[in-house]
Amino acid sequence: MQGNDEEAINVLKSMSSKDKPYLESLVCQLPLVQETAEELPRYSIKDFFFRKWAFRRIVVVMIILFGLGISYYGVPLTVRDIDVNIYLSETLNAVVELPTFVITPILLERFNRRSSVLVNTLLGGASGVLCFVLSLLGKTSIAFAFELGTFFCARIGFNLMAVYMVEMFPTCVRSSATMMFRQALVVGGACCPLIASIGRDLPSVSFAIFGVAMSGFGLFVLILPETKGSSLCDTMEEQEKRDQTINTSHC
C-alpha cells in the first residue's frame, strides 16, 4: 500500500457489503505500520564515462553497430551498381530479411554470443568483398547472390547484438545503452550515401568497403565478455560483483 493504509481501508469499506462491523474488526487487527520506501541510487548516462568497464563495453558496441549500420543500410542502396533488375533486387533484399527473425533465436540458443557475432561479421565481410570481385569479372548473377548474403549477415548481426547488448548492461542503464546502440546504427547509415557515391567512379567498390567495415569493426567483439547463460543484473554494483566473480572463477 506504500504508506496509504487509511486510504486503502476507506476504499475497502466503501466497496464492502452491509456487514461493516465485521470488516472493521478485521481492519483493527491489521498492523498499520508506515512503510518506508528505500532510497535507491540513481543512475544516468554519465555512469558509462565514470566506470571503466561500462565505457569500454559501450564504445565497443557502438563501433560494431557502426560497421553493421554501414552494411545494413548501404548494401541495398548500392545494389544499382550490379547489372540486375532494380525492382527484383529490392524485392529479394526485403524477402531475405524475413528468415533472419527465425535464424537468430536458433543461433542464440545453440552458440555463444561472441562467437556468433564474430563469425557472422566475417562471413558478411567476405561476401561483400566477393561481390565486388565477381562484379568486376562480369559475373553479375553470382555477385548479386553475395550481395544478398552481405545484407543477410548485416541483419543477423544487428539481431544478435541487440540481445548481446541487453545482457551486458544492468537494468539501471539499459535504456541509455539501447539509445547509444541505436545512434551508432543510425550514424553508420548516414555515412552510406557518401560511400555509395564512390561507386560512380569505380562500380561495385562500395561493396568491398561495406564488407571490410563489417568484418573489421566486427573483430572488436573479441574485447567483449561472453554473456550466454548469465543472469541479468539490476544495478551497476551488482554487475561489477558478478563480473569479478566470473573473472575469479576463470583464473
- Cβ–Cβ under 8 Å, residues 225 and 250: no
**The domain over range 47-243 is classified in CATH as 1.20.1250.20:** yes
% of the chain surpassing 70 pLDDT:
82
Domain residue extents for the chain: 1-39, 47-243
Query: Which of the four pLDDT bands, split at 50, 70 and 90, describes residue 14?
Result: confident
pLDDT at position 201 over 80: no
Give me the half-sphere count of Cα atoms (radius 13 Å) on the Cβ side of residue 7. 5
Q: Output the pLDDT for position 37.
A: 46
Q: Output the pLDDT for position 196.
A: 82
pLDDT at position 101 over 80: yes
Pairwise CA distance, residues 125 & 40, whole Å: 45
Across the range 158-175, mean pLDDT stands at: 90
Q: Output the pLDDT for position 136.
A: 85
Across the range 157-170, mean pLDDT stands at: 92
List Cβ neighbours of 156 (8 Å cut-off, separation of 6 or more).
100, 103, 104, 107, 120, 124
Across the range 101-106, mean pLDDT stands at: 94
Give one DSSP letter per residue of 23-62, joined into a string: HHHHHHTS--PPP-PPPPPP--TTHHHHSHHHHHHHHHHH
